[in-house]
Amino acid sequence: MSTISNVVFNDHTELQNYYNYIKSSTDDDSATRWRNQFVWELARYLVGEEIVVYPKLAKFLGQYGQDMAEKNRKEHQVIKEYLYKFQSMKPSQKEFIPTVDALMSHLQKHIEEEESHEYPELESKLGVENSKHLAKTFERTKILVPTYSHPSAPNKPPFETVVGLFATPIDTLRDLLRKWP
């Protein structure tokens, strides 16, 4: 069983890989499939982190953790806005690669802060068993959250959870029409 850091850092690696697949695609069909995979994973990751991890930052790290969660929500909002724009773009559009590059630039900065500071600090307070439990909760939550970016949706509990429950079935239906790698 993995810790929350292991699970989140694995998601970071997958997102980087999907981005690389988008960039290296030699045809529109492949780029579309990898775009869909990237959007699906990133949308779930962002909401899952907001619902599951950010409340634990405040609980285990006090005001410092609360401030960290607020800063991260603001960063997520910028990423969600880029993702919202990117999720409906076609690879043939001239803005396709510049948009995913801008999105990834913001995401990479966010990832670096999480991996170098935030998750190590959280892990130091959580303990191994709490971390494993949080990882399991995070993975389960990602199953139930929207799979597209909805930047106008609330990003704080409990409202993000309620809105997510309404958006998820619609997103799931849209997923059935997507092309996948």
Length of the chain: 181
Angle, vertex CA 84, rays to CA 141 and CA 107, nearest 5: 70
On average, the pLDDT of the chain sits at: 89
The yes-or-no verdict on residue 147 having pLDDT over 60 is: yes
| pLDDT tens per residue, range 69-122 | 999 999 999 999 999 999 999 999 999 999 999 999 999 999 999 999 999 999
The yes-or-no verdict on residue 171 having pLDDT over 70 is: no
Q: Mean pLDDT highest for which of 78-87, 140-149, 166-175?
A: 78-87
Q: Tell me the domain boundaries of the chain.
A: 4-176
The yes-or-no verdict on residue 137 having pLDDT over 80 is: yes
**Nearest-angstrom CA–CA distance, 122 and 149:** 26
CA neighbours within 13 Å on the CB side: how many for 117? Answer: 10
Q: Yes or no: is domain 4-176 CATH 1.20.120?
A: yes
Peptide bond into 158 cis (omega under 30): yes
Q: How much is the pLDDT for 150?
A: 74
Q: CB atoms < 10 A from the CB of 171, how many? A: 18
Q: Taking the model in full, what pTM does it have?
A: 0.87
